[in-house]
Amino acid sequence: MSDNEVLSGLFEEQRGRLRAVAYRMLGSVSEADDAVQEAWLRLDRTDTSDVQNLGAWLTTVVSRVCLNMLRSREHRREDPLEERMPEPIVSPADGVDPEQEALLADSVGLALLVVLQQLEPTERLAFVLHDLFAVPFDEISTIIDRSPAATRQLASRARRRVRGAAPSPDQDLARQREVVDAFMAAARDGDFDTLVSLLHPDVVLRTDVGPAAARGWNELRGALTVGQQALMFRRMAPFARPVLVNGVAGSLVVLDGKTSAVGAFTIADGKILTLDILGDPARLTGLDVAALTGRA
């Protein structure tokens, strides 16, 4: 076996973890794969004979690549307030495949990714690496060129924002599905009282229908407001099919064999805390309706 084959094998052992780090940093599977591929290219052209911990070295490389991508993304934005929904990972309702499981470990729901993308890039990196992957602050500080104490403060500030805005869902998928199905039935029937009863009083609804729309990104808060909005989309409810979105109960709205929207729900104690809807046609074209729902 050649040295390159050995190196390639060692890299493949780390690929799952590297993709998981990059997905949490970037909120995009395709961009995460680009970051991991860049890490491989750097590994392939670097003498790593003195590297004692290849996994830590690769995590550092991927983190730096992601940090540069986040900073570049910020510089490209014409509107500093522009937002976009992170890329959801959609799976059949009966389970997540093994490759997706690595990306979705640690309950990386869409609501969490929405909050993470609102953090400053170094805050995001410090939180992701330390709180989600247990990387020591000493190692993180070398990536962002800050002192360990300053890095700790970045993670702490990010942690407070995440805890306040990204609730953790119940883990019982069957119960999640009951709530989502009841919500869809109430929307379909125009049953406003039932809709409101399923919503947490401080529920947050976020929608992203793409840059072509006048208001591509919208955010609404409160059970009455969100319930009224749900009634406006009652004609879509009959076309909703059950799926998993980032490992939790969600819905796929299919019209004429094509996906028109993906809905991700965060549910706790039988109430919907957040509802994130991606309706950007350009970002939904790659979803295989038949594979995800069993029918075209």
pTM for the full model? 0.88
- Residue 22 has what pLDDT? 96
| Rounded CA separation 199/232 (Å) | 16
Q: Give tens-digit pLDDT for 179-199.
A: 999 999 999 999 999 999 999
Phi, psi of 106 (to 5 degrees): 70, 30
| Rounded CA separation 3/184 (Å) | 56
Question: Which stretches in the chain have pLDDT values below 50?
Answer: 78-81
- Residue 81 has what pLDDT? 44
Go through the domains of the chain in sequence order and give each one's CATH number.
3-165 (1.20.140), 173-293 (3.10.450.50)
Supply the angle between the helices 3-26 and 29-44 in degrees, to the nearest 10. 150
- Residue 165 has what pLDDT? 74
Q: Give tens-digit pLDDT for 231-263.
A: 988 888 899 999 999 988 999 999 888 899 999
- Residue 235 has what pLDDT? 87
- Residue 296 has what pLDDT? 61
| Rounded CA separation 288/296 (Å) | 9
| Rounded CA separation 112/228 (Å) | 25
- Residue 106 has what pLDDT? 65
- Residue 77 has what pLDDT? 59
| Rounded CA separation 165/35 (Å) | 27
- Residue 101 has what pLDDT? 78
